[in-house]
Structure 1
Amino acid sequence: MAKIKLIDVANLAGVSKSTVSQYLNGRFDYMSDKTKVRIKLAVEELNYVPNPIARSLKLDKTKTIGVVVRDITGFYTSRTIRGIDDYCKTSDYNVLIYNTDVDPEVEARSLEALYQLRVDGIIIASSGENTDLIDKYIANGLPIVNFQLEHDGSEKSIIISDYRKAAFEATEYLIKLGHQRICFVTQDFSNVKSRRDRYLGYTDALNQYQLPIDEQLVQYWHRDSGFRNSPKIVLNEVNPPTAFFTQHLPITTELLAILNEANISIPDDVSLLGFDDIPMAEFFKVPVTVVTQNPYEIGREATKLLLNNIASEALYAQKVMIPCSLIERLSCKRI
């Protein structure tokens, strides 16, 4: 089937190509009603669909943004994408989503593909490994907004949760319940500022309540290999923790599985407070107390900042901190 072109519509309607183009772009000021009707009928009869790429080249805007995420299936990420998409719908923008599975090479290819597609801007949850590439695109005039994690603090525009304050308040909550041996379970935070901010919030609370900072109570988890030290071994030490404070949803879920297998009861044997909510946690036998972020709001704010930069002649760097909330459930007990 031959592709219908603009000239075909013009010929059927008996007008010029430029007149059809003006009609399609909503410029009717000097167009008679009869001409508009003829063009409308010709478009419908030929089932003509305008070429969005050709139109974007003329208008210098594609009305499309790209979103690059680490794991599209994640609860946080899916809610963020929903916030992005909802805001775009109210602003007549389309969204292209790329999933990287935390692979820097896939991330780099995704950025290049979106750049080649001439998107008007990009929202990214970066791996932190493509800073130079991202900076190059920004220098070329492409607005880019980061979210989820701040890596080295050099991100030009970023929307993130207030991690340090949230970690402080969660640790303080456990301290006020009587816990003095709180195990902070995290991923390696040496090269990720957002993770380090959570650790600093934890130590801020310990310092404020004059509790010692014991590095043995800082335990590590890796996405591929799991816990560096088994939680069962940690709990069998001479002076074990009375509470775990986990910093990532997969850490919380893996810890729950290990404790359940070992018949270690929450909160009778050990309390648990997790960062990020667990889907349908209210149906658990012991619902978990969590620090919950607001990913939907983060998505909306990231999109708002990006579209403002797209509309502006100059790119403005901005860092926006979104507060977190503590949801008290049954996994933490007073001691």
Structure 2
Amino acid sequence: MQKKIKLIDVAQLAEVSKSTVSQYLNGRFDYMSEKTKERIKLAIQELDYVPNPIARSLKMNTTKTIGVIVRDITGFYTSRTIRGIDDYCKKSNYNVLVYNTDFDSEIEAKSLETLYQLRVDGIIIASSGKNTQLIDKYISNGLPIVHFQLEHDGNEKNIVVSDYRKAAFDATEYLIKLGHKRICFLTQDFQSMKSRKDRYLGYCDALEKHNIGVDKALVQYWHRESGFVQTPKNMLDALNPPTVFFTQHLPITTELLKALNNENISIPDDVSLLAFDEIPMAEYLKVPITVVTQNPYEVGKEATKLLLDNISNNDAPPQKVIIPSAFIKRQSCKDVSN
């Protein structure tokens, strides 16, 4: 086994004290001669000495590392958010540790505990909402934590999210102006999550503005484990079917597209489709899909900026940062006003 080189080894070879080597490593050269700096530099190179980051962090009370906890690292939205986080960290000389939970709240809790034990300077998390007490405990212990993407009860102290309610309102109003009154809102359960409910409220706001009542039969659900509660074909075979599906998440959209394709249901001739979240390689679909697109890269950057601000200033007031969404019109929504 290769011998572990210690600080004292560098000091002895350079013929200086341990504190002088430590000052050199921390960039404190005020009273250090050029000859001394050169001897330490050559000793480090000869011994191939690598400073112990944990030991240094204990002395300096910082690791220059943040943790990121996400539900699915391969997700289209999540991967771009992580890129925004990583790019901002690189510019700020911070390292990033990413933990993937696979939508499991127990794995999320273990990830939080591990990052806390590793003494990261802060955490960015897309929380399940089931570890609120643990998160609050770490925040009260002085660990800055910033939420992103998902807002559960509205009590998250620092959070960066898209403007879900306005985005859903604008999308629904666009469909209404195309003549659609039977708009199927395809969603996951939103009662326990504010960021999902805001989309529903935006949908309702637009219907109300145009004097269209909310038909509960047009609010349909999808579950990650079991899929659609009612199949898209059954919805379209109903007596008063929807003329358009408004899907609220990318997994819902992709599963809907598969289901419609399997039943030879054509978009937009048989039914229109408007999706929340951009679809990978959407331009290559037979019929490009109209979407509300979030800006995950910007969300990642803003979440990191907010976290680093909190790391440098523990007394910074809590912030909720809202990132505007964009609307991309394509060919999947038919004008039925005539």
Q: Please give the TM-score of this superposition, normalised by the length of structure 1.
A: 0.99
Partner Cα distance (2:245, 2:119) in 1: 46
Partner Cα distance (1:213, 1:24) in 2: 65
Partner Cα distance (1:224, 1:243) in 2: 24
The Cα shift of 1:220 comes to: 0.1
Secondary structure of the residue aligned to 2:68 is strand
1:216-250 CA distance string (max 9 Å, x none): 00000000000000010000001100000000000
1:26-47 CA distance string (max 9 Å, x none): 1111111111111100000000
The Cα shift of 1:154 comes to: 1.1
Q: Is the 8 A contact 1:143 1:315 kept in 2?
A: no
Q: Which residue of 2 aligns with 1:8?
A: 9
Q: Which residue of 2 aligns with 1:131?
A: 132
What are the equivalent positions in structure 2 for 1:195-274 lying under 5 Å apart? 195-274=196-275
Identity %: 75
1:143-178 CA distance string (max 9 Å, x none): 000001100111111000010000000000000000
The Cα shift of 1:314 comes to: 1.5
Partner Cα distance (1:26, 1:121) in 2: 24
Return 5+ residue gaps in structure 2 as ranges: none
The Cα shift of 1:315 comes to: 4.3
Q: Which amino acid in structure 1 is aligned with residue 333 of structure 2?
A: C
Establish whether residue 183 from structure 1 lines up as the match of residue 184 from structure 2.
yes
Q: Which residue of 2 aligns with 1:304?
A: 305
Partner Cα distance (1:289, 1:229) in 2: 23
Secondary structure of the residue aligned to 2:335 is coil
Q: Which amino acid in structure 2 is aligned with residue 272 of structure 1?
A: L
Partner Cα distance (2:324, 2:40) in 1: 53
Q: Please give the TM-score of this superposition, normalised by the length of structure 2.
A: 0.98
Q: Which residue of 1 aligns with 2:88?
A: 87
Q: Which residue of 2 aligns with 1:18?
A: 19
| Closer, same or farther: CA 261–313 of 1 in aligned 2, 3 Å | closer
Partner Cα distance (1:206, 1:314) in 2: 43
1:280-309 CA distance string (max 9 Å, x none): 000111010000000000000000000000
Partner Cα distance (2:231, 2:284) in 1: 27
Q: Which residue of 2 aligns with 1:281?
A: 282
Secondary structure of the residue aligned to 1:65 is strand
Q: Which residue of 1 aligns with 2:71?
A: 70
What are the equivalent positions in structure 2 for 1:109-128 lying under 5 Å apart? 109-128=110-129
| Closer, same or farther: CA 313–259 of 1 in aligned 2, 3 Å | closer
Q: Which runs of 4+ in 1 moved over 3 A?
A: none
Q: Which residue of 1 aligns with 2:99?
A: 98
Q: Which amino acid in structure 2 is aligned with residue 74 of structure 1?
A: G
The Cα shift of 1:313 comes to: 3.2
Establish whether residue 156 from structure 1 lines up as the match of residue 157 from structure 2.
yes
1:54-87 CA distance string (max 9 Å, x none): 1111111100000000100000000000000000
Q: Which amino acid in structure 2 is aligned with residue 302 of structure 1?
A: A
Secondary structure of the residue aligned to 1:172 is helix
Aligned-residue CA RMSD (Å): 0.6
Q: Which amino acid in structure 1 is aligned with residue 242 of structure 2?
A: P
Secondary structure of the residue aligned to 1:146 is strand
